[in-house]
Copies of this chain bind each other. A is one copy, B any other.
Amino acid sequence: MGRAGVSTLGFATLGLLAGESLSGYDVKLRMAEPVGFFWQAGHSQIYPELAKLEAGGMVVHNDVPQSGKPDKKIYEITAEGLSAVKEWVSEPAKSAPTRDEATLKAYLSWLGEPGEMAAMFRELGRRHEKQMERYLETEAWMRSEWGEPKRFERRRFANYAALKRGVGFEREYAQWCRWVSEKLESSG
């Protein structure tokens, strides 16, 4: 956890709410799609997290009655929440590599049948390549929609920067997978 007992997921949520007020369900949707590429959480984490943030005075909610369905809770960030996330965002980011099962499998690849290992890494490489292409499509969309990246305003640049990381990550990963599978093939 970061400052004042707020976890990284808490700050991710605050960051989303800093841009717009959202229901728990909307937070969940954003956690799945753009944010989910670098920080995932299911709704079973998000709803309790929002309650915890509210208990800590970081957000407040107002109920929007719905016909039949349960009330929609629209969460809004407080001044306290906004200053907390603003402080957190420029603090040193901790830990980057952490856990990567594929690298572990590469390290232990001598235990497997070379042909099977090669196939596994080839398939993994394809998956990362596809993900890279999806990111590149989004990047193309941004350029066509927002113009020259040089002139992006801060919020769009932030979006673009995260995407750029995704592209670089997937490209490097796919290359490595291809290299591993080729070497395993030629040796087996």
Contact = CB atoms under 8 A, between A and B. Distances in A.
Contact of A158 (B37, B95, B108, B171): B108
A142 interface: no
Q: Give the interface residue-count category, chain A.
A: 35 or more
Interface string A66-101: 000000000000000000011001111111111111
The copy count of this chain in the complex is 2
Contact of A168 (B98, B113, B116, B175): B175
B120 A90 contact: yes
A172 B168 contact: yes
Contact of A107 (B38, B107, B173): B38
Q: What DSSP secondary structure best describes chain A's contact surface?
A: helix
A164 B123 CA distance: 19
Most buried by B among A108, A117, A169, A180: A108
A89 B117 contact: yes
A82 to B, nearest CB: 8
Contacts of A173: 96
Interface string A165-188: 110110111011001100100010
13 contacts: A11-B104, A11-B108, A34-B107, A38-B104, A39-B99, A39-B100, A39-B103, A40-B98, A85-B108, A91-B120, A154-B187, A161-B180, A168-B172
